[in-house]
Chain A
Amino acid sequence: MKLVVNGETLDLDVDPEMPLLWALRDVAGVKGPKFGCGVAACGACTVVIDGMAVRSCSLPVGDVDGDVRTIDGLVRDGRMHPVQKAWMDEQVPQCGYCQAGQIMSAVALLEEIPHPSDAEIDDAMQGNLCRCGTYPRIRSAIKKAAAAMPVTLDAET
């Protein structure tokens, strides 16, 4: 079956019932999205499809409709995405395991709401667990990225 990942069309020989996460990780070799729970309870596997943050562990690959954006495709022409830059500036990660998911959720949030309030950040980000407790820096990095991000972002690529 065909799957578009970060703008590239892949031809994968997989059971359409296989969750997108495992099709990406084990079959397509795209390792940015992480496995944390398998039941849409932690956000480690978050990817963006059609501007929506999606838990790839709970979506059969056969049901995917649209380009799957993962953290692996966030750097463009050697330039980091403003969210990644803000994450660097604020030194957000500790163990880092949740951060690919956190960053993709933040990307989806800022594309929908360029200047989110604290309540909107809470809403969009509470599905992303961080056992290292990096939340205060996640919040400040989102605000920093919001300030730095052009309102028109190439959301559709």
Chain B
Amino acid sequence: MGKILRRTFLVGTGVIAGGLAVGFYTGFRPHENPLEAGLADGESTFNPFVRIDAGGKIHVIVPRAEMGQGVTTTLAALVAEELGVGLSAVEVEHGPAAGAYYNSVMLEESGPYPVFAKTLLAETTRALSGATGRLLGLQVTGGSSSVRDAFEKMRHAGAVARYLLLQAASEEMGEAVPDLLIEGTEVVSASGERVSLGVIGPKAALIKPPSDLALKDPSEWTLLGKPQQRTDLLAKVTGAPIFGIDTDLPNMVYGTVRMSPRLGAGIRSFDMAAAEAMPGVIKIVRMDTQTGTGFGVIAENTWAAFQAARAIDVEWEDAPYPDDTNAIMEVFRGRLDSGAAGSSYRDDGDVEAAFADAPADLVLTADYEVPYLAHAAMEPMNATAWLRDGKLDIWAPNQAPTVIQTVCAGIAGIDAQDVAVNTTYLGGGFGRRGEVDFSIYATLMAMNSDGRPVKVTWTREEDTSHDTYRPAAAGRFRARVDADGAVEALDMRIATPSIIKSVGRRTFPSLPTGGPERLLTEGAFDQPYTIPNYRVTGVETEMPVPVGFWRSVGYSFNGYFHESFLDEIAEKTGQDPIEMRIRLMSAHPEAVMVMKKLAQISGWARRLPDGRAKGVAFTLSFGSYVGEVVQVAQTPSGIRVEKVWAVADVGRALDPGIVKSQIESGIVFGLSSALGQEITISDGRVEQQNFYDYDAMRIHQCPEFEVVILENAETIGGVGEIGTPPSIPALANAIYALTGERIRTMPLGNHIAFT
């Protein structure tokens, strides 16, 4: 056990090491309430999630990044529910960067176990990893973890606030607590007397809360479990300046960056005289950083900065990786050919023996490949920084404020507590905004702007060609079936780079990262299927193209690998793909119920007219069980994705409206990649530049949706990413059913024409 525990600790090493520097300052002691320091006169706070202003308004701090997934609604509802007020009664804020806002759930599932593994070892690993997040004060939005992480803490924060406010009001008003009610900005008594929360708040803050406050039973919930109106709607339909790119500060200057297009390569020679002489240009800064080398242009306006950046004459050094996509993929293929050992997080039965005596006609083999992908969030990367009097302020749409705080303090040579990170609304994140590059560049430019704030906006071209990409991967799979169709053995080898190491190298370059990693094979090793001889091996592949977290991470490609190959097995053995899956997942009733429901709502058994076909796939990810059926049709202008049915067991849907839109959103994201997205490299540079060559699904391509949410699973699952993994194989399998062509490399659009 000792040996394995050591290994599992290493699994999350990247993340743990990534947080270490943060933890050095903020960990190893209880996290303080960061709201206390900023309280104005007459304001009060009882915990890091609730602040009452002098006018009695309740402010709820939602310390996770709102990037469209609805956290500012659902997390605020957790607090409001226990406070006993409506959502419209509270003001929602992102709050400061602080260790108190640690995310422990995100790390919990970083070990080598499927989510359903409940062994002592698996549970111990979860507890240890979760505690690490807390210890290090890691404030991160990711891993579809926000609701799971907040579910207890934020309801508790609401319950404490309610207890204290009513207790203080009871003393103030001379009425018994059961006769009191919080209404808007006041406490109201049964006799109709009112007192402002602004008056009560400071008194309430002096009372010591009991340690054993009971939370409401779900049957008493009035907000949770029901669709709410999103708290960010009004701002978003009126075009309010809420995004990072809208930041406006007194005396502000504007900027952009031009970084080496050969990622990780330096500058051979340059001449910026012409650029410097252009109208509106204030200064051009050379930047040599842990995330890239290039130039920052400071100007009177963004457009002038864009023009000047283009005008810098520069020759870049060679890329640290092979020059073009094919040479890069050859490295992945070579890893599969090499017989490298890799790490097998699933290794049931005796796979080698099962294949050793297998007759050739009962063995199925296939090679699959997926490309690098960009995030292409709608809001291009940007950050605003202001350095004055030894203090640095950063405004950025970001997913990891405490990491930015630590890293940018290092860049500016000041203490982390002198760096304030203001999290704006995010125009999409999808994992890209957990990175530090945009904040590093803004910080460096702020160090060169004479004390003026500088807003640094990347061009779309810079954003697309300097992403931290979803890694490419190559897979080699084989299956052995027996004469009556049973799956005897399944063996999957997947070659792909380590995301954790790539992130670690550019975020905390001085800290080591190591150990095997679940991201290589998540989506393949951790699925609820029982096969007597079943092995999934991740073969880590060294490749210095920067890679990062892309909505659903490893699930985004392993889901395709696993579920498309299962479809091949069903085809070979003449089984119905849903029935076969149900047989293989019989040990997991939640999964079976998902597939049965899916068969029912999609009319799976019904025959379709010629020119139409359906495909199915299932992926368990982030604790949620998700099955999807995609229907495609042959039309005169190409293949059209007509409809998608999805069934998701998320354990508990705290806001069914938001859950449904997140699932649809995840599906559009996955289908977009399958239709035509691909990042390719030529001459060491990313070829794609903008939406004209890296597009996503448009309204006329968007299918109809039917989504059913189930709540059978024991624990709450994530929702932000779970729609994506099964959508890709379900589409590929539908294309096979329609055309008879089995497409084993993404994107599908390279092989067939879509509308």
Chain A interface (Cβ within 8 Å of chain B)?
15, 18-19, 22, 25-27, 29, 31-39, 41-42, 44, 70-72, 74-75, 80, 84, 87-88, 91-100, 103, 121-123, 125-126, 128-139
3 tightest Cβ-Cβ pairs between the two chains A and B: A133-B668, A97-B427, A32-B239
**Nearest CB in chain A to that of B662: its residue:** A94
Within 8 A of A (CB), among B231-275: 232-239, 241-243, 245-246, 248, 254
**Beta-carbon contact of B661 and A91 below 8 Å:** yes
Which candidate, B115-123, B198-206, B372-380, is the interface stretch facing chain A? B372-380
Cα distance A133–B68 when bound, in Å? 10
**Nearest CB in chain B to that of A122: its residue:** B700
**Beta-carbon contact of A35 and B664 below 8 Å:** no
**Beta-carbon contact of B700 and A130 below 8 Å:** no
Given contacts A91-B657, A129-B691, A133-B702, contact A35 B457 (CB under 8 A): yes
**Beta-carbon contact of B68 and A96 below 8 Å:** yes
Chain B interface (Cβ within 8 Å of chain A)?
66-70, 229-230, 232-239, 241-243, 245-246, 248, 254, 279-280, 301-303, 306, 376-380, 425-430, 457, 459-460, 657, 661, 664-669, 672, 690-692, 695-700, 702, 704-705
**Beta-carbon contact of A71 and B460 below 8 Å:** no
Smallest Cβ distance from B521 to chain A, in angstroms? 27
**Beta-carbon contact of A132 and B241 below 8 Å:** no
Chain A residues positioned under 8 Å from B232 (CB to CB): 93, 96
Instruction: Show 22 residue pairs from A and B whose CB-CB distance is below 8 angstroms, ordered by the A residue.
Output: A26-B302, A34-B378, A35-B380, A36-B460, A38-B460, A42-B691, A71-B239, A74-B239, A80-B237, A80-B238, A87-B237, A91-B230, A94-B665, A95-B428, A96-B235, A96-B425, A97-B243, A125-B700, A130-B699, A131-B377, A133-B668, A136-B705
**Nearest CB in chain B to that of A121: its residue:** B699
**Beta-carbon contact of A88 and B702 below 8 Å:** no
Cα distance A74–B240 when bound, in Å? 12
**Beta-carbon contact of A25 and B428 below 8 Å:** no
**Beta-carbon contact of B233 and A93 below 8 Å:** yes
B661 in complex: contacting residue of A126, A137, A139, CB < 8 Å: A137
Given contacts A41-B690, A42-B691, contact A36 B378 (CB under 8 A): yes
Cα distance A59–B449 when bound, in Å? 30
**Beta-carbon contact of A133 and B697 below 8 Å:** yes
**Beta-carbon contact of A26 and B236 below 8 Å:** no
Chain A residues positioned under 8 Å from B235 (CB to CB): 96
**Nearest CB in chain B to that of A94: its residue:** B68
Cα distance A139–B241 when bound, in Å? 25
**Beta-carbon contact of A136 and B664 below 8 Å:** yes
Given contacts A93-B237, A96-B427, 6 further A-B contacts (CB under 8 A): A26-B303, A38-B306, A94-B665, A97-B379, A131-B378, A132-B668
Smallest Cβ distance from B150 to chain A, in angstroms? 19
**Beta-carbon contact of B702 and A135 below 8 Å:** yes
Chain B residues positioned under 8 Å from A133 (CB to CB): 664-669, 672, 697, 702
Given contacts A71-B239, A72-B239, A96-B425, contact A132 B68 (CB under 8 A): yes
**Beta-carbon contact of A126 and B237 below 8 Å:** no
**Beta-carbon contact of A131 and B669 below 8 Å:** yes
Smallest Cβ distance from B147 to chain A, in angstroms? 16
Chain A residues positioned under 8 Å from B242 (CB to CB): 96
A125 in complex: contacting residue of B230, B666, B697, B699, CB < 8 Å: B699
Chain A residues positioned under 8 Å from B665 (CB to CB): 94, 132-134
Chain B residues positioned under 8 Å from A125 (CB to CB): 699-700
**Beta-carbon contact of A99 and B237 below 8 Å:** yes
Smallest Cβ distance from A56 to chain B, in angstroms? 12
**Beta-carbon contact of A39 and B67 below 8 Å:** no
Looking at chain B's contact residues, the main secondary structure is: loop
**Beta-carbon contact of B243 and A34 below 8 Å:** yes
Chain B residues positioned under 8 Å from A136 (CB to CB): 664, 702, 704-705
**Beta-carbon contact of B425 and A26 below 8 Å:** no
Smallest Cβ distance from A74 to chain B, in angstroms? 7
Smallest Cβ distance from A136 to chain B, in angstroms? 6
**Beta-carbon contact of B303 and A99 below 8 Å:** no
Cα distance A35–B493 when bound, in Å? 42
B238 in complex: contacting residue of A71, A132, A139, CB < 8 Å: A71
Chain A residues positioned under 8 Å from B696 (CB to CB): 129, 131
**Nearest CB in chain B to that of A83: its residue:** B237
Which interface residue of A29, A35, A39, A139 has the most chain B CB atoms within 10 A?
A35
Cα distance A91–B429 when bound, in Å? 20
**Beta-carbon contact of A135 and B668 below 8 Å:** yes
Smallest Cβ distance from B280 to chain A, in angstroms? 8
Smallest Cβ distance from B426 to chain A, in angstroms? 6
Chain A residues positioned under 8 Å from B690 (CB to CB): 37-39, 41
Chain A residues positioned under 8 Å from B233 (CB to CB): 87-88, 91, 93
**Beta-carbon contact of B238 and A37 below 8 Å:** no
Chain B residues positioned under 8 Å from A134 (CB to CB): 661, 665
**Beta-carbon contact of A91 and B378 below 8 Å:** no
Chain A residues positioned under 8 Å from B237 (CB to CB): 80, 84, 87-88, 92-93, 99, 103
**Nearest CB in chain B to that of A31: its residue:** B241
Given contacts A91-B229, A96-B68, contact A129 B378 (CB under 8 A): yes
Chain A residues positioned under 8 Å from B280 (CB to CB): 15
Which interface residue of A34, A35, A72, A97 has the most chain B CB atoms within 10 A?
A97
Smallest Cβ distance from A88 to chain B, in angstroms? 6
Chain A residues positioned under 8 Å from B691 (CB to CB): 36-37, 39, 41-42, 129
**Beta-carbon contact of B661 and A36 below 8 Å:** no
Chain A residues positioned under 8 Å from B430 (CB to CB): 131
Which interface residue of B378, B672, B697, B705 has the most chain A CB atoms within 10 A?
B378
**Beta-carbon contact of A19 and B303 below 8 Å:** yes
Cα distance A135–B696 when bound, in Å? 12
Chain B residues positioned under 8 Å from A103 (CB to CB): 237, 239
Given contacts A38-B460, A96-B425, A133-B665, contact A29 B238 (CB under 8 A): no
**Nearest CB in chain A to that of B704: its residue:** A136
Cα distance A121–B698 when bound, in Å? 12
Chain B residues positioned under 8 Å from A39 (CB to CB): 460, 690-692
A18 in complex: contacting residue of B243, B301, B667, CB < 8 Å: B301
Cα distance A34–B460 when bound, in Å? 12
Cα distance A136–B706 when bound, in Å? 11
Smallest Cβ distance from A45 to chain B, in angstroms? 11
**Beta-carbon contact of A130 and B378 below 8 Å:** yes
Smallest Cβ distance from B730 to chain A, in angstroms? 16
Smallest Cβ distance from A126 to chain B, in angstroms? 5
Smallest Cβ distance from B656 to chain A, in angstroms? 12
**Beta-carbon contact of B378 and A97 below 8 Å:** yes
Chain A residues positioned under 8 Å from B236 (CB to CB): 93, 96, 99
Given contacts A93-B232, A96-B235, contact A31 B697 (CB under 8 A): no
**Beta-carbon contact of B657 and A15 below 8 Å:** no
Cα distance A139–B70 when bound, in Å? 21
Chain B residues positioned under 8 Å from A121 (CB to CB): 699
Cα distance A132–B245 when bound, in Å? 18
Given contacts A36-B460, A37-B460, A126-B699, contact A70 B378 (CB under 8 A): no
Chain A residues positioned under 8 Å from B306 (CB to CB): 38
Chain A residues positioned under 8 Å from B669 (CB to CB): 131, 133
Chain A residues positioned under 8 Å from B460 (CB to CB): 36-39, 42
**Beta-carbon contact of A128 and B303 below 8 Å:** no
Smallest Cβ distance from A104 to chain B, in angstroms? 9
Given contacts A97-B379, A132-B428, A133-B667, contact A70 B698 (CB under 8 A): no
B245 in complex: contacting residue of A35, A80, A96, A98, CB < 8 Å: A35
